[in-house]
Amino acid sequence: MSSDASTATLLQWKRDAGQLLLTGELERETLLPLWEQREALMLQIDTIDVSGLERVDSAGLALLVHLRQTALARGKTLRFTGITDKLSSLIALYNLQEIISDTQ
């Protein structure tokens, strides 16, 4: 979980086996603690569940793309589950459907 008290209620994460569950808001103002811990967090992750995200901005979307690229560089395939209609619209706006798609 995020240990930064100022953002703990805005963005939280939980690692469960090979899945990372994100909840809250993944935005430019809230993503720094996750960014700083991304290397250690992503070592055993093959799925990111974004169903608990209430809001994602372009910076948050860029972080998701970065996490996927990092996994690919390590020879792993990163899947996303729980993509909401709002997040799907943002993904389509940036033409990233082939990079980030729901694999439920």
As a whole number of angstroms, the distance between CA 14 and CA 22 comes to 7
Q: In this predicted structure, what is the pLDDT of residue 44?
A: 87
As a whole number of angstroms, the distance between CA 82 and CA 95 comes to 19
Q: Residues 64, 49: contact at Cβ < 8 Å? A: no
**Mean pLDDT of the region 86-102:** 92
Quote the DSSP letter at residue 100.
S
Q: Which CATH architecture has domain 12-93?
A: 2-Layer Sandwich (3.30)
Given a cut of 90, whether residue 7 has pLDDT beyond it is: no
**Mean pLDDT of the region 72-87:** 93
Q: How confident is the model at residue 102 (pLDDT cuts 50, 70, 90)?
A: confident
- Supply the pTM of this predicted model: 0.86
Segment 26-78, tens digit of pLDDT: 999 999 999 999 998 898 899 999 999 999 999 999 999 999 999 999 899 99
Q: Residues 48, 79: contact at Cβ < 8 Å? A: yes
Domain ranges of the chain: 12-93
* Strands 79-81, 11-16: pairing kind: unpaired
Given a cut of 70, whether residue 103 has pLDDT beyond it is: no
